[in-house]
Amino acid sequence: MRLSLLALVVLTACGSDDPYTEAGGLYAGDYIPVADDWLQFGPTEAPADGPFLMIEVSATEWELRQGVGWTEADSEEKLATTTDDGLTLAGTTVLPGELSEGAEQGGATVLAMGDESVYYGTFALAARTTVPSGRFAGEWVFAPRIGPILMTIDGQVWELVYYE
């Protein structure tokens, strides 16, 4: 009997091994893409038609290219990133370190936590944020284990169409 009770206590304390089943187990770092991730976005008006915005992630920057493909890109730039407490791009916070509705950091505010749909699909436990001003002003949506699935850059809203 004692052994059974001990096993029950241990199993209850461990809970699920997957923190992505409920919002309480997630942190801002879970919503930030990691080095070597590659994301492709299309304009929200016609995501599959392009031109595309492609992002290659490294530990300290995002390389952005815009065009029909990575090697055929019409433009490219590199944005410095910091991920110590949320996500900052080129000095602008786009994802606060605390992920709860109403949390604010560096001007960015978490508007909602929940299911979000974009061209690529529907993502559970997504974080919808807003950036009040500057180049990244507008709404952003981040999905766990992926990163941004919707973002605003220079007034253009982009939706995720592919990632690896």
- pTM (2 d.p.): 0.84
Any domain includes 14: no
Any domain includes 12: no
Any domain includes 44: yes
Confidence of residue 26 (pLDDT cuts 50, 70, 90): confident
In the structure encoding, which two tokens stand for residue 74, read together? Answer: 């019409």
Look at 74-78, 123-127, 158-162 and tell me which has the smallest mean pLDDT: 74-78
Any domain includes 2: no
Residue 120 has pLDDT above 70, yes or no: yes
Any domain includes 15: no
Q: How far is CA 126 from the centre of its chain?
A: 8
Any domain includes 6: no
Q: What is the CA radius of gyration of the chain?
A: 18
Count of structural domains, the chain: 1
pLDDT of residue 25: 55
Any domain includes 147: yes
Any domain includes 154: yes
Helix (H, G, I), strand (E, B) or coil at 29: helix
Residue 71 has pLDDT above 60, yes or no: yes
pLDDT of residue 24: 54
Domain residue limits at 126: 21-163
Residue 113 has pLDDT above 90, yes or no: yes
